Each structure stands twice: as structure tokens, then as C-alpha cells.
């Protein structure tokens, strides 16, 4: 679906839209969501690797953000706060799927381990949950450990939201090479997240 632009909010910074949304302006909140939907979808897909599931968890994350927008303190970017909620929702889905795999031991694995982290009780608010698990800190730490050749592509595409043509241009490589490096960067990140889970011990798989 194409991006729906609201001319009323053209040029209005996220911080102003957040303040309006916290005062009950639903149109301002809708504008925030419209602006950051592409990033949220890319983040969800990079974790889940399934477009339908990613769409579902993005919608769940948007609803959580709407419910708790009043708790957001603007000491961080709205995009960062929203991305953390998206990742949290995706990781909780993966943990649920892993539990189902454990229950049905006859099911064969698809050759790729599920990424899991020690996640909080869903009864917690998103803010409390995210503070407890420090998902954002974990992601930043593991992204920094990705080889520079791959990390540069990942940051330009996933963080700065450049098109693949722009990414390739900045790095002086072909679009095909940029896409290949991005895929390898995502795979590297998933492996590192899995290793992080392993360092936390077996409790992360059963909590």
C-alpha cells in the first residue's frame, strides 16, 4: 500500500507529533506510524524471515505503541522506541514457536536455528519489558561486531533507510553486491543473536 501523506503534518518533526499524540491527537499518531512503517516492516522481516508473520507483529507493535505512547519519554528517537517494540514482539513470537517445536519433537528442523532471547512476561508493559531485556542494547552490541564490510551495508539500509541504489552508490559497488552483503549481514546478526542466547544459558529457552 502506498504511503498516505497528510499535508497538515508536512515538515512537522517526530518530537512534535509525539507530543500531540500524547495529548490524544490520533491523526498525529497515525502520521508517526505512516512515517516509520517501512523501517518497522524491515526490522520485523529481518528477525522473522516471513512476510506474513512480520506484518502481524508490526501491527501488534503499533497497537502496543498506541496503548503506551503516554509512557514514551523523548530522551530517544521515536523510531528507536518503536523499533524496540517491533523487535520485542518478533522475539516473543519466536520463543512461542520454539516452545511448540519442543512439544512436537517429531517435527524436523529446517536447518536454521530459531533466534531466542530471555524475554519478559507479556503482562509487563512494553517499556518495562524492553528495559528488563535491554533488547536495544543487545542489538547495538551485536551489530557493532559484524564485519565492517557487511556492517556498512546493514547500517545504510536498515538504520539510515537508504535505497539499495543509494547504498551501492555510497559504497562504490553494484546493487547486486550490496544486496548480497545485506543478506550476509542479516545472517551474521541472527547467528550472533543466537550465540548471545547461548551465553545466557538454558534458562533462556525455558523461561
Tell me the per-residue pLDDT of 94-107, one tens digit each, with 9 for 90 and over: 888 776 554 443 44
Distance CA 30, CA 12 (A): 13
In the chain, CATH 1.10.10.10 covers: 134-207
In the chain, CATH 1.10.1740.10 covers: 11-121
Q: Which of 101, 100, 120 is nearest to 109 (CA)?
A: 101
- Between 127 and 65, where is the model more confident? 65
CATH 3.30.1310.10 fits 134-207, yes or no: no
Which residue in the block uniquely carries the three cell numbers 507483529? 57
Confidence category of residue 32, pLDDT binned at 50, 70, 90: very high
Distance CA 90, CA 115 (A): 10
pLDDT score, position 108: 39
Distance CA 117, CA 88 (A): 9
Distance CA 43, CA 90 (A): 9
- All 3 cell numbers of residue 155? 547500517
Which residue in the block uniquely carries the three cell numbers 512436537? 104
pLDDT score, position 57: 92
Mind listing the pLDDT tens digit for each residue in 71-129? 888 788 898 899 889 998 998 888 887 765 544 434 433 444 343 444 444 444 544 44
pLDDT score, position 143: 81
Is the per-residue pLDDT at 56 higher than 60?
yes
pLDDT score, position 139: 72
pLDDT score, position 105: 38
pLDDT score, position 195: 66
Mean pLDDT taken over the chain: 75
Average pLDDT over residues 52-56: 90
Distance CA 87, CA 20 (A): 25
Class of domain 11-121: mainly alpha
Residue 122: φ, ψ to 5°: -65, -10
Percent of the chain with pLDDT over 70: 71
Average pLDDT over residues 147-157: 86
Amino acid at each position: 500500500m502506498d504511503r498516505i501523506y497528510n499535508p497538515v503534518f508536512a515538515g512537522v518533526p517526530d518530537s512534535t507529533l509525539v507530543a500531540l499524540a500524547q495529548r490524544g491527537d490520533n491523526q498525529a499518531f497515525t502520521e508517526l506510524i505512516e512515517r516509520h512503517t517501512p523501517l518497522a516492516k524491515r526490522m520485523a522481516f529481518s528477525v522473522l524471515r516471513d512476510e506474513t508473520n512480520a506484518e502481524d507483529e508490526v501491527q501488534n507493535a503499533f497497537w502496543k505503541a498506541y496503548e503506551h505512547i503516554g509512557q514514551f519519554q523523548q530522551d530517544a528517537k521515536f523510531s528507536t522506541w518503536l523499533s524496540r517494540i517491533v523487535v520485542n514482539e518478533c522475539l516473543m513470537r519466536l520463543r512461542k514457536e520454539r516452545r511448540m517445536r519442543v512439544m512436537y519433537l517429531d517435527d524436523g528442523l529446517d536447518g536454521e536455528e530459531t533466534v531466542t532471547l530471555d524475554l519478559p512476561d507479556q503482562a509487563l508493559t512494553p517499556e518495562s519489558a524492553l528495559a528488563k531485556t535491554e533488547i536495544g542494547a543487545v542489538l547495538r552490541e551485536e551489530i557493532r561486531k559484524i564485519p565492517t564490510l557487511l556492517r556498512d551495508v546493514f547500517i545504510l539500509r536498515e538504520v539510515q533507510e537508504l535505497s539499495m541504489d543509494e547504498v551501492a552508490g555510497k559504497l562504490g559497488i553494484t546493487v547486486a553486491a550490496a544486496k548480497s552483503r545485506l543478506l550476509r549481514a542479516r545472517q551474521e546478526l541472527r547467528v550472533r543473536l543466537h550465540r548471545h542466547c547461548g551465553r545466557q544459558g538454558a534458562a533462556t529457552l525455558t523461561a
